[in-house]
Every structure is written in structure tokens, then in C-alpha cells.
Amino acid sequence: MQLWRFVLLAVSALALFLRPPPPTLVPSAPSRRAAKPYCAQIPFRPISTEVVRAERAQGTAHEVYNHIRNRAEP
């Protein structure tokens, strides 16, 4: 049993110290400038007032619909 522990310890020590060298990194192509994230590629446009009015009217219509529907239920 003691011999087996010694062999296991020796093999694990060899595995720790006799590692293969890390691979050398060779650039395959010259690096280009970094790409922008997707959100930075979209130009900033302010929301038009027509869109805001349409969303406000849609929300009001939804509230009116829910009020009438809830009123009709017993």
C-alpha cells in the first residue's frame, strides 16, 4: 500500500513539472481596428412627436377599453 502511494505521488509530481510548452501564438493577419458595437453603429434619431402622440392615444384607448370591459363584468 505504501509503495502504491509513493508511485502515485511520483507520477502526479512528474505530471505537474513535465508539462509541454505552451503554443506560440502566430498572428495570421495584421490586426485591423476594433469593430464598433452594434448599438454604436445606429445613428441617434430623436423620437418624433407623431410617434409620441400615437403611443399616448393608443394607451388612452387601451385604458378606455379596459374600463368598459371591467364595468360590464359582474
Residue 57 is predicted with a pLDDT of: 80
- Is 66 among the domain residues? yes
Query: 18 lies in a domain?
Result: no
Range of the domain at 60: 46-74
Q: Is residue 72 part of a domain?
A: yes
In a domain, residue 22? The reply is no
Q: Is residue 20 domain-resident?
A: no
Q: Name the pTM for this structure.
A: 0.30
Q: Establish if 23 belongs to a structural domain.
A: no
Is residue 14 included in any domain, yes or no? no
Position 61 in a domain = yes
CA distance 35 to 12: 45
**What pLDDT does 16 receive?**
82
The pLDDT of residue 30: 63
Tens digit of pLDDT at every position of the chain (74 positions): 789 899 999 988 888 888 777 778 776 666 666 666 666 666 666 777 777 777 778 778 888 888 788 876 65
Question: Residue 27's pLDDT is what?
Answer: 67
